[in-house]
Amino acid sequence: MFARSSFCNLATLLSPRTEAAIRAMSSASSSVATTPDVDPYDDPTVDAVYRPFLLPPDIRSTDWVSQLELDSVAALAATTTQHRLRFLVLYGSLRKRSFSRLMAFEAARILHRLGADVRVFNPAGLPVKDDDQHGHAKVQELRALSAWSDGHVWVSPEQHGNLTAVFKNQIDWIPLLTGSVRPTQGRTLALVQVSGGSQSFNTVNALRVLGRWMRMWTVPNQSSLPMAWTQFTAEDAPEDGGSRLMPSGNRDRLVDVMEELFRFTLAFRPLSEGMGDRFSERKERREKEAKARAAKEAAAANS
């Protein structure tokens, strides 16, 4: 059961009228979130596996993400007393020049700029979903990352009017329940799709249904990138690291979505455990406990 003060705190965090006061906090408290080229939390081992989106320091300090005006959200991040927000980013293509992967990297860079701990899962090597390979290393890795996270970013190409098999296979490997742990329940979610042709919303709409099924809090805003093959710089562009999202309203929308995800996650994190407390599950748990007690008493009586 939630105290009324919890919901008041939620409303306060989401209210833009509080941002001016938050922005006035000391710059020292928000330095981690606003300094793109210095991250004291970086671990070279983690970077090598889960942060392929990181740019060389000389580019990171001058690229378009570093120039974004994100003061209000960064100041909001500085108010948290828990660990910094943790985001898992999934993409849905194995192509060498995968535009969903490139879009996922840009989303990850924005969240990283805000001070989040961001990890991108590489779906290469993940087996096709079956009932025999639950112990596979890639399956265990994916499930552990989901359990670790506070929120997800899902980026899928549109294939035949829907999300790709590569993307759906990742979600199929994440169970709704593993013992007493729900790897996705109560987590926030942002949705992004990339299309080779004209703009479409089929995939983000399908992802929204999937997110609801996985019992996640999906933010209202979403990003759909049309004609993705025209939206990124050349792979070998020296000035920005190559394969970077070019200026457009679509790029601005991606920033909007990541800002919204960050705000919602920060607001919902203190409430996530209680918001997943369901009557039906409490009832089922009591019934199981009662049966276990009855069996134990019967065994004791017969001994």
The average pLDDT across 215-229 equals: 94
- Backbone dihedral angles phi then psi of residue 178, each to the nearest 5 degrees: -130, 100
Residue 127 carries which side chain, given as an amino acid letter? P
Q: In this structure, how many other beta carbons lie within 10 angstroms of the beta carbon of residue 292?
A: 10
pLDDT tier for residue 227 given thresholds of 50, 70 and 90: very high
Q: What is the pLDDT of residue 282?
A: 84
Q: Rounded to 10 degrees, what is the CA torsion of 287, 290, 291, 292? A: 120
Domain that holds residue 270: 4-302
First-to-final CA distance of the chain:
42
Number of domains observed in the structure of the chain: 1
Mean pLDDT computed over every residue of the chain: 84
Nearest in space to 150 (alpha carbons), one of 281, 10, 261: 261
* pLDDT for residue 167: 97
pLDDT confidence of residue 178: 65
8: pLDDT strictly greater than 60: no
Question: pLDDT band at residue 260, thresholds of 50, 70 and 90?
Answer: very high
Distance (Å, whole) CA 5 – CA 290: 35
3-class DSSP assignment, residue 262? helix
Give pLDDT, residue 214. Answer: 92
Give residue 269's pLDDT. 83
pLDDT tens-digit profile of 15-27?
A: 443 334 333 332 3
Residue 275 has pLDDT above 90, yes or no: no
User: What pLDDT, on a 0 to 100 scale, did the predictor assign at position 181?
Assistant: 61
Least reliable range by pLDDT among 60-64, 175-179, 201-205, 238-242: 175-179
Q: Which pTM was predicted?
A: 0.81
What's the rounded Cα separation, in Å, for the pair 200 and 158?
A: 8
pLDDT of residue 253: 97
10 pLDDT band (50/70/90 cuts)?
A: very low
What CATH number is given to the structural domain containing 270? Answer: 3.40.50.360
Q: Identify the bridge partners of residue 151 per DSSP, sorted by sequence position.
A: 87, 188
- pLDDT for residue 146 is more than 90: yes
